[in-house]
Chains A and B, each alone.
Chain A
Amino acid sequence: MAQTVDSNRAIGAAGRSGGAAAIEAEGLCAGYHGVDVVADACLRIPSGELVALVGPNGAGKSTLLKLIMGLIRPRRGKIRIGGLAPTAARGAGNVAYMPQHETLDWDFPASVRDLVFSARYPRLRRSGVQRWLPRRLLGREHHQAVAEALSATAMEELADRHISELSGGQKKRVLLARALAQQAQLLLLDEPLVGVDRSSEALIFEVLRDLRAAGRTVVLVTHDIAGARRHADRLVLFNRSVIASGPPEEVMADERALLRAADPLFARGLQGAD
């Protein structure tokens, strides 16, 4: 098992070493009300990797995602997404985001297909007048991208259901389908595996591996270290800053790093804050 994963990783890493890194951050500090939630984080994610971002609650993982999306500005430090400023990368539609499904109102009057279609907006904007047109009049490539996203996540048969009729795992899958339909270079997934049954989990990892095979970069925030170890090319331990980043086996062998990542108080003590 470990061997096949290793060989996959070798293929994934090879041939994509050139060009700008998917994510490159140096000395990144950011927070709210003068308190840094992310402190001096440095990170380099080459493109084409499947990355698991792991850390305890309150470690600043969501803040890091917001920095990558350019939703908040770093207080200090530099961050580049595929060589661009985060706001520029987001504006170009290069960054797809899958939120946690608990934050959304599932009574919203929309079908599965409506939701997935909304992710075509960045592409529509680039195709001129289409952004103003009703969905029926849009070009075939948009309908096709939505159909492909629905089929990759096995949501085709549920496409015309109202979103409140979905189970927890199906809600995750429709949000994943929405992220796929955007056809972005970088996908950020916030806890895609929480509350998901075994078969949905297997399906989600299959989709993520296909994305990697297509040269996309995937960053998933997760608590599931075991799953990350099995499926990811790179494990990033994060607790206010990047504690370790590398192949899962190497990172897991570093007990000191694991300890720092696991204990928020200890990590804070090390950084001399509070």
Chain B
Amino acid sequence: MAWAEAVIDVLLAGLMAVVGLLPEPLAEPFGYQFMQRALLTAIAVGLVCGVLSCFVVLKRWALLGDAISHAVLPGVAIAYLIGWPFFIGAFLAGALTSLGIGFIERTTRLKSDTAIGIMFTAAFALGVVIISQVATSTHLMHVLFGNVLGVDRSALLLTLSAGGIALLAVALGYKALFAYTFDEIHARALGMNTAVIHYGLILLLTLTIVASLETVGIILVVAMLITPGATAYLLTDRLTRMIVLAAACGVIAAVVGLYLAYYFDVASGGAMVLVSASLFLLALLLAPRHGLLPRWVRRWRALAAG
């Protein structure tokens, strides 16, 4: 893994070169190694969550995203117990939960929100029970709420590789994702295997959730998987621009949240999500076409003119 270490060093060095251009008060926290790692992790998480959040918003998967993020907990716990990599346990748990949701939906008269509610709380409860047996409550708090200031090199490597895979998959599969997200039946008529796309997207979500585990934690990661996409959706009418804007919103939220966590000594995950929600509020009020204020102004002008 020498090359992976080298990649991290190069990325950190590049990042520090940029930070060096900032004024002193902004650059000061990054004299510490742990803050350098935190910054790189935060940027990666913000970027990947932002990109994926577009598909979560457009597929109306907000609740499903919430479910998968919670369902990951028992997978992480069991993987820890039997000494498997986190990611495998997390993905199996996420995939099993989404299969279970689909099964309940198809075979009973219950609707998907109820199926999701049952499955994810059950999985989450299983995770809490296992973790309470094997680890301290501090461990549990870490997994639930994350702590970006405590990210070590191996966690950073995991975040970067999971994030890199997710970004590459979205870039290469963009056309299929576009068709699948807009019109699933048509995507099938075009000869796409929508089951592969569906579970591929769930795999990407799980990857992203695992990548964000240390940074924002299981409970708040879903906010990073919804809010940036929702913000971008109010700002543009094209999918490519929406993805770029959502990624930008995610990165801004993660970096500003990191500063807040450092200077005010508050939970990093919570700070990031609050910044993200503030960006959404700004877009809600000010977005040129879909924002509230411009709409009121247009209506008022129309009244005044007519």
**A interface, CB within 8 angstroms of B:** 69, 71, 90-93, 95-97, 99, 103-105, 108-111, 114-115, 118-119, 121-122, 124-125, 131-132, 134, 162, 164, 178, 182
Q: A174 CB to closest chain B CB, in angstroms?
A: 12
Asked whether A104 lies within 8 Å of B175 as measured between CB atoms, the reply is no
B235 nearest CB neighbor, chain A only? A109
Does the CB pair B185–A97 fall under 8 Å? yes
Interface contacts beyond A69-B188, A121-B176: sample of 4 additional A-B pairs, CB < 8 Å, sorted by A: A108-B58, A114-B238, A118-B175, A122-B190
Query: In whole angstroms, how far apart are the Cα atoms of A132 and B58 in the complex?
Result: 22
Number of B residues with CB within 8 Å of any CB on chain A: 24
CB-CB < 8 A to B174: which residues of A?
134
The reply to whether A104 and B190 contact each other, CB–CB distance below 8 Å, is no
Q: Which residues on B are within 8 Å of A, measured CB to CB?
A: 58, 172, 174-176, 178-179, 181-183, 185-186, 188-192, 233, 236-239, 241-242
**A109–B238 CB distance below 8 A:** yes
Cβ contacts under 8 Å, B176 to chain A: 121
Contact of A108 among B182, B185, B191, B192 (CB under 8 A): B182
Q: Which residues of A contact B238 (CB under 8 A)?
A: 109-111, 114, 162
A121 touches B183 (CB 8 A): no
Contact of A110 with B182 at beta-carbon distance under 8 Å, contacts A118-B175, A124-B175, A132-B172 already known: yes
A104 to B239, CA, bound (A): 16
Chain A's closest residue to B60 (CB) is A105
Do B236 and A109 touch (CB < 8 A)?
A: yes
A91 — which chain B residues lie within 8 A by C-beta? 191
A119 to B186, CA, bound (A): 9
Contacts of B242 in A (CB 8 A): 109
Pair A92/B191 contact, Cβ less than 8 Å: yes
A121 touching B179 by the CB < 8 A rule? yes
13 A-B pairs within 8 Å (CB atoms) are namely A90-B188, A90-B189, A91-B191, A93-B191, A104-B182, A108-B239, A109-B241, A114-B238, A118-B179, A118-B186, A121-B191, A134-B174, A162-B238
Q: Is A99 a contact of B186 with CB atoms below 8 Å?
A: yes
B237 contact from A71, A109, A115, A118, Cβ within 8 A: A109
Best-surrounded residue of B172, B183, B242 (most CB of chain A within 10 A): B183
Q: Are A162 and B178 in contact (CB under 8 A)?
A: no
Nearest CB of A to B45, in Å: 24
Supposing A93-B191, A114-B239 touch, asked if A121 and B175 sit within 8 A by C-beta, the answer is yes
Whether A108 lies near B181 (C-beta < 8 A) is yes
